[in-house]
Structure 1
Amino acid sequence: MTAEVEVVAAGELNRYADGIRDVYARAFAAPPWNEDPAQADHYAERLARDARRPGFTAAVATADGAVTGFASAWTTPEAFPADRSYGQVAEALGPGRTRAWLCGALEVNELAVAPEAHGAGLGAALLHAVTGPAPDGRCWLLTSVRAEAALRLYERAGWRRVDAPVPGKAALVVLLGPRHPGRVEAGAGAEGGDR
């Protein structure tokens, strides 16, 4: 299967909505996410709203006209959010590092590849497509340490784990992109830095 990855404008996402929903349902039904396939409908609704965020970008992988993967990202607001897992991230990093590393940076929100397309390099290509234009290389993402395959992908692509565990049951970890200026300090230990 030969797939093609392209950056897609927010207004063009509707063309891929059914395929994105399908890939999301299949990718996140497996451990460690174990999401009910109905969650894909909620994601599709959220994606339509997210497409209006400042700095929104998306990429879609297709093969023979079918969506085989997607990624989305946006600029994290200067006033760091408190909903979803953001509050836990801010608690882990402290206000100084949260502001310096994440606010105004490109945040990878979702990345998913259809199970049958794993191992073809699509995850890395999608990640690069949405983070390539990150301002000053400042991009970040949040995932679970239980998502071992995803962590291997990110680390092979040059992403670095922040050495500050995110509190909560999901076992989340923040990763900084390969050109992020905070990468060196990120692995310096949770005790250092502005907490």
Structure 2
Amino acid sequence: MELTTYVGADALQVADEVESLYREVFSAPPWNEEPAQLATFRPRLEENVSRPGFRLVTAVVDGEVRGLGAGWPTSPPFRRDRSYGEVFDEFGAVQVERELVGAFEVDELAVHPESQGLGLGRAVLNTLCGGEPSWLLTAHQAVDTVAFYRRIGWRELLPQVAEPRLAVFVSV
């Protein structure tokens, strides 16, 4: 496995490869994203590379990108677009401010299904976060993904609602 870190717009050098991996991972269960949802990845990547502190890490195995991670530091004020509004509602302003704002946000983490269980996800995540306080969110429906974050020692935040849809984890 070869890990490579791209900073800012340099990530666009591998945009085709990471988009292909993203589509393969997130079109399958438990995500089952529709083609319209999958099509938003590339424009988001092209926008996100301009965020201060943006990083993309790829894991290449046998010449193919088999893992990816992308993120940036969360700056105030906490966003409300995409799933951020739901995070704010489920976890509350105090916890969001204390745990998430200022920490490195893992926006995407994906490992090809045939490469799962080989340590790629952990390696990509460790390289991407670089020991910085970090956070990420996932859906509770992604049982294996939630179990992975627990297994590698990330701490799950306690929501303020009875039936949360999202699981938010912070690095320890």
- TM-score normalised per structure 2: 0.91
How many residue pairs were aligned?
A: 172
* 1:6 aligned residue: 4
Q: CA deviation at 1:10?
A: 2.3
Conserved 8 A contact 1:75-1:107? yes
1-structure distance, mates of 2:95, 2:114: 38
2-structure distance, mates of 1:159, 1:7: 22
RMSD over aligned CA atoms reads 1.9
* 1:192 aligned residue: none
Within-5 A mapping of 1:46-125: 46-125=44-123
After TM superposition, what 4+ stretches of structure 1 lie above 3 angstroms from structure 2?
A: 37-41, 165-168
Which runs of 5 or more structure 1 residues have no equivalent in the other structure?
Answer: 179-195
Q: CA deviation at 1:86?
A: 1.2
Q: CA deviation at 1:37?
A: 4.2
Deviations 1:124-157 (A, max 9, x none): 11111111142xxx21111011112211221122
Cα separation, partners in 2 of 1:161 and 1:110, compared to 1, 3 Å = same
Cα separation, partners in 2 of 1:4 and 1:99, compared to 1, 3 Å = same
Letter aligned with residue 162 of structure 1: L
Report the 3-state secondary structure (helix = DSSP H, G, I; strand = E; otherwise coil) of the residue aligned with 2:169: strand
Name which one, 1 or 2, has greater alpha-carbon Rg.
Answer: 1
Q: CA deviation at 1:11?
A: 2.9
1-structure distance, mates of 2:145, 2:161: 17
Within-5 A mapping of 1:1-195: 3-37=1-35, 39-134=37-132, 138-164=133-159, 171-178=165-172
Q: CA deviation at 1:166?
A: 6.3
Cα separation, partners in 2 of 1:26 and 1:167, compared to 1, 3 Å = farther
1-structure distance, mates of 2:75, 2:10: 24
Deviations 1:93-119 (A, max 9, x none): 222221111111111000001111111
Report the 3-state secondary structure (helix = DSSP H, G, I; strand = E; otherwise coil) of the residue aligned with 2:28: coil
* 1:186 aligned residue: none
2-structure distance, mates of 1:166, 1:61: 36
Which runs of 5 or more structure 2 residues have no equivalent in the other structure?
Answer: none
